[in-house]
Structure 1
């Protein structure tokens, strides 16, 4: 008895199906622009905090924006990706504009606080309607645009509770910053912005990657040996 047509030897399979998922370290590094990206995105805020303590608002704004522009220019000259630098520069620019118009240094952090509240609420709402944002982000950055997890009840539940976790942590850290903003604690607000920036994000990202990989591995079917019929 003949069998159906077999794939010809040497024919390449779809690399998207063959390629393994990047490691946890690789995915974290990609999302944050590597350790260099993390440090560079924190430097302008650190400069603003220090100069604002030692001098006045205007020098602090000029210094932080100048440092952010210099970092972006250096990356451009070195032909390195500037996506993270541009995103950070845009956020700094909006905050600097608001603070300059109001004359109050705490308003430099207001866009970040409002953005954090919006993200936290969006995460919790998406989990409530069982369209977890963490799952869709995973599809884009770790699954090559595929969304097979939508057909796996275990992964749906996993992404729902991971999205809730992200939302709760996001609102908690922005809540601390909002409390300092309302209390007019400018310097403490800057320190909190730095301390509550990457550390919680790194932890959440590592938990997400580890959990999804574990659930995916546990859900993989166990190969069975075929038995011959008598």
Structure 2
């Protein structure tokens, strides 16, 4: 059990960084400040926090891609909210992002190139040919379906709350459906994916690369 927990922890580090705080804190600050002060103050505070986080990363000589991505996102969202004079519009980019994920997952399934396989390839650099094997591909198709259902659920909730115009609910819902649900989804995807690959009885990445013949040990770690 301890070995499996350690394995999952190491796998999550490949795709989730502690630097996700850069994308989480500014929107929460926006919601809190907007509930007590004007929209302009909330926008300025959120941008200032995102900028401060970027400066901290720079001072610590850490990669800026997370902080800069968060800063650009906050500035864009704040601009939409400010110029439309509607605080709820701050979360429009997140709703659009969810819609794009739904579309991408759906298109990838229709085209027979499941998003989970493409994401794994980009993260790990494994041979694409391995993912498209008949004794491997079904695992990634099924995980992509799980992702699609999650994205659809998140999009539906975001749209419902957006129509209500409740900024506080939007903030907390986007936060909870962000990092916490992403972590839960990744753990579920990993455990199911490894189990499914084992049942499909295909070769591991290394066995495929080396052209080994059956019987195969199969993929025992990494998805």
Quick one: structure 1 residues 87 and 223, their matched pair in 2 at CA, closer, same or farther if it must change by over 3 Å? closer
TM-score normalised per structure 2: 0.82
* CA displacement, residues 58-100 of structure 1 (integer Å, 9 cap, x when unaligned): 1111101111111111011101122222222221111111111
1:56 corresponds to 2:38:
yes
Shift of 1:47: 0.7
Question: Of residues 190, 197, 219 in structure 1, which corresponds to 2:178?
Answer: 197
Aligned length, in residue pairs: 200
Check the 8 A contact 1:98/1:107 in 2, yes or no. yes
Where in structure 2 are there 5+ consecutive unaligned residues? Answer: 1-5, 204-213, 218-223
Unaligned runs of 5+ residues in structure 1 are: 1-21, 225-230
Aligned to 1:24: 8
Determine helix, strand or coil for the equivalent of 2:91.
Answer: helix
CA–CA distance in structure 2, aligned partners of residues 223 and 212 of structure 1: 17
Partners of 2:184 and 2:129 lie apart in 1 by 25
- Deviations 1:120-148 (CA, angstroms, capped at 9, x unpaired): 12102211221101101101112x24213
> Separation in 1 of the partners of 2:188 and 2:128?
20
Structure 1 pair 65–149 and aligned structure 2 pair: CA distance change class (3 A): same
Structure 1 residue 114, shift from structure 2 partner: 1.0
Given candidates 62, 70, 79, the residue that maps to 1:97 is 79
Question: Of the candidates 100, 117, 141, which is equivalent to residue 99 of structure 2?
Answer: 117
Residue-by-residue CA offset, 1:138-170 (whole Å, 9 max, x unaligned) = 01112x242133342132111111111111101
Following superposition, the deviation at residue 216 of structure 1 comes to 4.3
What is the Cα-based RMSD across aligned positions, in Å?
Answer: 2.1
Larger radius of gyration: 1
